[in-house]
Amino acid sequence: MQVTESKRHDSRFYGITNEPNILYLFDLAYFSFYRFKKIIEAGSFFVSRLKSCCDPLIVAVEQNQWKHLIGKKLSEVIPLLNPDIPLDATVKLSNAKQSKLNHELRLVGIFHEGVWRFYITNIIEKLFTPMVIYQLYAKRWTVEIFFNEIKNVLSLEHIMSKNRNGIMVEIYSALIYYLLTRIVISLSSQQTGLPLTSYSFKRSAEIVKAFFTTHIAQIFVQTKAYLVSFIQHIVEAVSAVGLKDKHYIRYCNSP
């Protein structure tokens, strides 16, 4: 996690490290030749959506039926693509010389919901098929869900503190609350055999809050055994009433 000023533009994100074997999933706002180059040199990996203004040159393809695309720009070949066959090509990015990014990268194209979706990556292992690359990038949506939950459900959107220390206390308190709720949901999932997605984060967070609010005086003066039992009671409560409506009805009607 990196905390920055709210007015800092995405282009000023400096979260790339020199650590190897890290996977970065980039939204379009973070698309940058400089970032790609730094990630590659660190021995890490990235998957990013392709910016519409970027028109890569195709230098090699995996499928024989795409051989005629070699030497052409992506904008030239889109009308020639078969929606039923994912595109898997090696490309050079346009204008990459300006950032000294001379590496050949992998371009993956998936036809989804009536449109082509293109992703650029330095993951070349064939175990990572075009669909796997697409699914990897789709995991980035969990970040958006996280921001929605921590800002709206846990009320971090309106920070009360005016100084840096107070702000950090509020942020880390919300993160602890978030993680505790996620742990309880995970334990409830194991207990009921239902998938994690069956649970409502909002309802589960409210249950966790209710338990801690009513037992706050006892929690810090009790034994480890009491705390384990206390958490188990929360898990049982979330298992019973923390489900989303349609899953709750199905669970109640199951044999």
**pLDDT value of position 246:** 64
Of 64-68, 199-203, 230-234, minimum mean pLDDT range:
64-68
DSSP state of 168: H
Residue 155 has, within 13 A of its CA and on its CB side, a CA count of: 5
Helix axes 201-219, 164-192, angle to 10 degrees: 110
Under the banding of pLDDT at 50, 70 and 90, the label for residue 75 is very high
CB atoms within 10 A of CB 112: 12
> Which long-range contacts does 137-145 make (Cβ < 8 Å, 24+ apart)?
137/25, 137/47, 137/48, 137/49, 139/25, 140/25, 140/26, 140/27, 143/25
| Residue 98, pLDDT above cutoff 70 | no
Closest by alpha carbon to 17, among 31, 29, 33, 35? 35
Angstrom CA distances, 120 to 13, 90, 129, 153, stand at 19, 10, 13, 34
Residue with the bigger pLDDT between 249 and 123: it is 123
Under DSSP, is residue 47 helix (H, G, I), strand (E, B) or coil?
A: strand
pLDDT above 90 as % of the chain: 54
**pLDDT value of position 135:** 93
Q: What gap in Å lies between CA 2 and CA 234, rounded to an integer?
A: 31
φ, ψ for residue 73 (rounded to 5)?
-80, 155
Residue spans per domain, the chain: 10-139, 171-252
| Residue 89, pLDDT above cutoff 90 | yes
Helix axes 224-241, 201-219, angle to 10 degrees: 150
| Residue 253, pLDDT above cutoff 60 | no
Of 1-15, 140-154, 160-174, minimum mean pLDDT range:
1-15
- For residues 89 and 66, is the Cβ–Cβ distance under 8 A? yes
| Residue 97, pLDDT above cutoff 60 | no
**pLDDT value of position 65:** 78
Under the banding of pLDDT at 50, 70 and 90, the label for residue 87 is very high
pLDDT tens profile 148-190: 999 999 988 888 888 889 999 999 999 999 999 999 999 999 9
| Residue 76, pLDDT above cutoff 80 | yes
**pLDDT value of position 103:** 87
**In the beta sheet, which residues pair with residue 115?**
112
pLDDT tens profile 215-245: 877 777 678 888 888 899 999 999 989 998 8
Report the pLDDT averaged over residues 183-206: 94
Tokens 């810090």, residue?
Answer: 220
- For residues 101 and 56, is the Cβ–Cβ distance under 8 A? no
| Residue 48, pLDDT above cutoff 80 | yes
Report the pLDDT averaged over residues 202-221: 86
Q: What gap in Å lies between CA 104 and CA 90, rounded to an integer?
A: 6
Residue with the bigger pLDDT between 219 and 114: it is 114
The per-residue pLDDT of the chain, averaged, comes to 87
**pLDDT value of position 78:** 93
> Which long-range contacts does 90-93 make (Cβ < 8 Å, 24+ apart)?
90/58, 90/59, 90/60, 90/61, 91/56, 91/57, 91/58, 91/59, 91/120, 92/56, 92/57, 92/59, 93/33, 93/54, 93/56, 93/120
φ, ψ for residue 48 (rounded to 5)?
-140, 145
According to DSSP, the β-strands at 23-26 and 45-49 are parallel
φ, ψ for residue 89 (rounded to 5)?
-135, 155
Report the pLDDT averaged over residues 187-214: 93
